[in-house]
Structure 1
């Protein structure tokens, strides 16, 4: 499969890229510094020079997304998977009385509008692929059923992302494209912190299992855990 991953330079995005490469897939690794990667992404590029292709893409900037899609289109006729992984975490402990709305707007711009921009510009390429799938990395924080007071920007943006996921699932229902919002679990990344019990590698491999359709998931489900189990909406 040819898999497009946003936020591929660190955390779950990096683990996803590595897991997909190890299974022989081609990865279009997108990041704001995609043209000049550093650290682990650069190492992956050296290790898999003919499998991973680095794309400069800032999900918060539609022109950047449009240019990235044009670049991909110039080099490949199609893609098979879109994984919207790029994210931010601001105002986690802020009370509503103290909330900085500029950071709420930034969060929505990345977590909700980012995937909307990516799908807007890359969907024509996905239509031409095979066994197509869209995965939007969501969170249990986005569940209305289990809502808690706090994490306002993150939780609200993930809830909205779940809604968008359901809309896209309906929109492409006649194209045989699988669409999921997936809770990755609380994992040890820069965002999750060192105390998180989950492993990004385990989550990444479970997500690649979903890409490869190794997990049986009910057709009606769209909000699920990384192991394929349903989440409360």
Structure 2
């Protein structure tokens, strides 16, 4: 499979690129900083299966150019993993929120995946067994709202809704769409206290893409093991 991964130069994105390449997939690693991407991805044993793609999810021209480049060089793709994300204004009260940071959060966490799908969907519909994975979070569950992380939580709730709408839209093209909670994992965002390992999560997400899980969830919102998440 050819798999596009945004934010592929660190954290979960880096783990996804590593595991995907190890499993024989061709990884199109979307990165804002190509030099940094080369430093972090080139040492993998399977680095020849990884192609760096300059891609800034907040810049539509960047995404359009990336889609054009991928189409010219590869023709089609089989999966999109919208992994790039930010967590600003953590633990701020509503009175303390910097609304500019809230807007930036939505720009990356919601509008980023929307832009990517907008420009890469034509390359995806040409495939036979394709999927879109939007990396979400349990923080986006309305049922389990906890009164904090306003920008991040609201952006992930909106991402879940986008995933649900998209799922209905692409159903006729036999494209699977999931909003995946990756668990609390040790990354720059998750911190050192997180109990989970991004490699384990990456394996679960790749299992979903490869069809190794039987997913019975009514909604697109699931965890990395393919189990339903509370809406």
Q: SS of the counterpart of 2:143?
A: coil
Q: SS of the counterpart of 2:108?
A: helix
Equivalent-residue separation in structure 2 for 1:168 and 1:35 (angstroms):
33
Q: Match of 1:43?
A: 43
Q: Match of 1:125?
A: 123
In 1, are the aligned partners of 2:18 and 2:46 still within 8 Å (CA)?
A: no
In 2, are the aligned partners of 1:187 and 1:193 still within 8 Å (CA)?
A: yes
Equivalent-residue separation in structure 2 for 1:116 and 1:142 (angstroms):
17
Q: Match of 1:97?
A: 95
Equivalent-residue separation in structure 1 for 2:217 and 2:146 (angstroms):
29
TM-score by length of 1: 0.96
Deviations 1:113-142 (A, max 9, x none): 000000000000000123100000000000
Q: CA deviation at 1:42?
A: 3.0
**Which residues in structure 2 correspond to 1:11-50 (within 5 Å)?**
11-34=11-34, 37-44=37-44, 47-50=45-48
Q: SS of the counterpart of 1:53?
A: strand
Q: SS of the counterpart of 1:172?
A: helix
In 2, are the aligned partners of 1:35 and 1:55 still within 8 Å (CA)?
A: no
Equivalent-residue separation in structure 2 for 1:31 and 1:134 (angstroms):
18
Paired residues in the alignment total: 231
TM-score by length of 2: 0.97
Distance 1:35 1:72, change over 3 A: farther
In 2, are the aligned partners of 1:187 and 1:199 still within 8 Å (CA)?
A: yes
Moved over 2 A (4+): 34-40, 47-50
Gap regions ≥5 residues in structure 1: none
